[in-house]
Amino acid sequence: MVCRRYLWRVAVTQFVIRRLIGGAVLLLVLSLLVFTLLTVSPGTPLQSLLGTRPATPQLVSELRQQYHLDQPFVEQYLHWLAGAVHLDFGQSISVQAGTPVADVVYGRMAVTAQLAVYCVLIVLLVGIPLGLAAGIRRGRATDRVITLLATVGLGVPVFALSIVLLYVFGVALNWFPVYGAGSGFADRITHLTLPAVTLAIVMCAVVIRQTRAAALDVTRQDYVTFARLRGLSPARILIHYVLRACAVPIATSTGVLLIAPLSAGVFIEQIYSLPGDGSLLLSAVSAKDIPVVQGISVLVGLYVVVVNLLVDLAGYILDPRLRAHAAGEI
């Protein structure tokens, strides 16, 4: 037993190290692509960095020195990478002129993170039970209704759904605020409800389909049939057999849920006027604030790499077949 646990720990450590190396390489490639935004942007890099500010000799000299524009491209990238490792992406050009990019992004990150967490909680509390119910009651009315709702949820455009919910529950019924993030815990929850529900409807559809497919596969297994023949209660079979076997696809779905608000949230934050990183990215692109765009892109890439690592690690831990294979038992 001790030897088996040791082999599992070694296998998990090797797995994490491989994923960290792969994530570091991916971030390095992403950083190179992001840095080239400054080079391939319209006009010269100096014009992009100047933005709408007057091109005074002092400002031009400071920008050349700060961004090493008088050096070759590789040296410029290495200097920028050294700052990016310490989360120093320079200063905002136009969104919040003169403010460090890290401060600009962190100031908006709280709203985006709260929206993502709120959305994930709704999806986990609604999507997983509905998916299990559809899988267990395969072919019945419950399964058909839930599957139909999931199909509709997948096909509805996010922006169209946002406008409908905004008009019905925000304007017509006046149940929720129609813009802003609010202040204070209760007020913030009220303001984020409609945006979170909008995202959750689409994501619930994905979780329902994946959970249903996993539940269908598990309920066909022999050990579930034997458990029923032994007279175990449906609740015990659901919790100890079906739900445990569905843990890996559910964990994978959770990882997707944590990443999806970053992309769909761009539209949601614009429609509901939320001061998050998604709306900040659109503002930075419109204002050609290259340092802010670079900072958000790298930080989002880092977030995605970390979430994927945690999801892979969760699947590795939850699935005993992977652990046994890594330990050389199968």
What is the pTM for the complete model shown? 0.74
Query: Are 116 and 186 found together in one domain?
Result: yes
Output the domain CATH number for residue 160.
1.10.3720.10
Task: List the domain range (segments joined by +) for residue 302.
Answer: 1-94+290-330
- DSSP letter assigned to residue 87: T
CB neighbour class for 232 (10 Å; exposed up to 12, middle 13-18, buried from 19): middle
Last residue of a domain, one of 286, 302, 318: 286
Please state the rounded mean pLDDT for residues 203-227. Answer: 75
Question: Residue 224 has which token pair?
Answer: 């579930």
- Please state, in angstroms and rounded to a whole number, the distance separating the CA atoms of residues 167 and 303: 33
DSSP-based three-state secondary structure for 100: strand
| Same domain, yes or no: 282 and 303 | no
Domains of the chain: total: 2
Q: Does the pLDDT value for residue 24 go beyond 80?
A: yes
**Beta-ladder partners of 100:** 91
pLDDT digits 0-9 by tens, 39-60: 776 666 666 666 667 777 777 7
Is residue 155 pLDDT above 70, yes or no?
A: yes
Length of the chain: 330
Residues 127, 259, single domain; the answer is yes
String of DSSP letters for 263-275? HHHHHHHHHTT--
For residues 61 and 1, membership in a common domain is answered with yes
Kindly report the average pLDDT of the chain as a whole number: 76
Q: How confident is the model at residue 157 (pLDDT cuts 50, 70, 90)?
A: confident
179 and 318 in a common domain: no
